[in-house]
Amino acid sequence: MRGNCNRIAHMRHVVEAAQPQGIVSEHMIEVLRKRKVGPVIGDADQLNAVSLIGIVVMIGMADNEAVVKLDAIHRFRDLGYPIDEAIFRGGHKRLRAITMTTFTAIAGVIPLVLNLGSGGALYQPLAAAVIGGSITQLAVTFFLMPALYAAIERRKERLALRRAAAQEVVIA
């Protein structure tokens, strides 16, 4: 049971580390507006309450995808696979589901981005946030999160080997 609690805590930290967009405050929004970083994150004038709803939705989707992928990786680690093989197999197992979720979210908001229908202009910032967040989430889930996971796991293995070596020296 204790190992399971450690795994959950470890997964939470990896997911939080892989989501730099996790905390959005009023101060950050004002800085973004004043710096005019529109080309980087979209039109700075469109950063409003509706687009923040889109960002919150994307944080939830990214969190869900990351946790599910980490769970798949942990299952392969429990079966005895090395780190790289477990990451590859876990990623392969979740590839279709994650990409389908991402492309479905993008396809669902394309009419809003194109300003088709009533309310299109109102929800255009939300749609832009969902599309940008979906693409970012896909990159984070498939590249950044596995790299962070591998680095953390390798560090844990090195520390365990050092502790084991130190215990052997003490015993001898």
List the domain boundaries for the chain: 2-171
* pLDDT category of residue 28 using cuts at 50, 70 and 90: very low
DSSP code of residue 84? H
**Tokens (6 digits) for 64:** 């869900």
**121 pLDDT higher than 90:** no
* pLDDT category of residue 14 using cuts at 50, 70 and 90: low
pLDDT tens profile 44-82 = 456 788 888 888 888 888 888 999 999 999 999 999 999
State mean pLDDT over 7-11: 55
- Tell me the HSE value of 55 on the side-chain side, using a 13 A CA sphere: 18
* pLDDT category of residue 40 using cuts at 50, 70 and 90: very low
Predicted pLDDT at 172: 61
Predicted pLDDT at 21: 47
What is the Cα Rg of the chain in Å? 20
- Tell me the HSE value of 160 on the side-chain side, using a 13 A CA sphere: 6
**Tokens (6 digits) for 82:** 């090395």
* pLDDT category of residue 25 using cuts at 50, 70 and 90: very low
CATH superfamily of 2-171: Multidrug efflux transporter AcrB transmembrane domain (1.20.1640.10)
